[in-house]
Chains A and B, each alone.
Chain A
Amino acid sequence: DAGVTQSPTHLIKTRGQQVTLRCSPISGHKSVSWYQQVLGQGPQFIFQYYEKEERGRGNFPDRFSARQFPNYSSELNVNALLLGDSALYLCASSLGPSGANVLTFGAGSRLTVL
């Protein structure tokens, strides 16, 4: 059974550009969360979606947005890229959004902003 899949695995952008990252959850999982991990730090929560609705948002600017599709896959969009957006972006899925539902993480998308 496939785990959480993310694409692309690596990408390079320049400042001011826009990027879209994609995530496919484990089959049967209806909740998707996004985390940003800057080099040398722990991951930080960006968004959580459940049944296509936003259920939580971390302390990130409005340049960051996301959505969840009817098949529960998700996209994370970042506009007007800054050098500081360079990071590993991790997607995690779970059956639901409650604390009883354990997150399973994907391998991440490595974004480099030049």
Chain B
Amino acid sequence: KQEVTQIPAALSVPEGENLVLNCSFTDSAIYNLQWFRQDPGKGLTSLLLIQSSQREQTSGRLNASLDKSSGRSTLYIAASQPGDSATYLCAVSKAAGNKLTFGGGTRVLVKP
């Protein structure tokens, strides 16, 4: 059974500092890995999707890496801003379907 873990559960950084969010999964037989952003009480916004054959994906200030063999992914957010405050979730899918298994999320607070 796939298990996804995100550590830490919460972190607080001053504005301008780089953010590093970690995600680990127990079964390396994944099809892809996604990072989502969730604002309080809202739905999920997809940030980055990494196919299992890829090592990283970049979008603006966001960069996500994937090491499938070790079951790890890292999301980097450069030069954090107060607007980056949200919960960040990672999720993995298997090739047989697009059912997602989510981690518990990391709640981020960027202080002005």
Bound CA–CA A2/B98 (angstroms): 22
Instruction: For the complex, count residues of A whose C-beta is within 8 A of B.
Output: 29
A102→B103 contact, CB < 8 A? no
Distance in angstroms from B107 CB to nearest chain A CB is 9
Closest to A41 in B: B104
Bound CA–CA A105/B89 (angstroms): 13
Instruction: For the complex, count residues of B whose C-beta is within 8 A of A.
Output: 28
Bound CA–CA A90/B89 (angstroms): 14
B94 at the binding interface (Cβ < 8 Å): yes
Chain B interface residues toward A at CB < 8 A = 4, 6, 31-32, 34, 36, 41-46, 49, 89, 91, 93-105
Chain A interface residues toward B at CB < 8 A = 31, 33, 35, 40-45, 48, 55-56, 58, 88, 90, 94, 97-108, 110
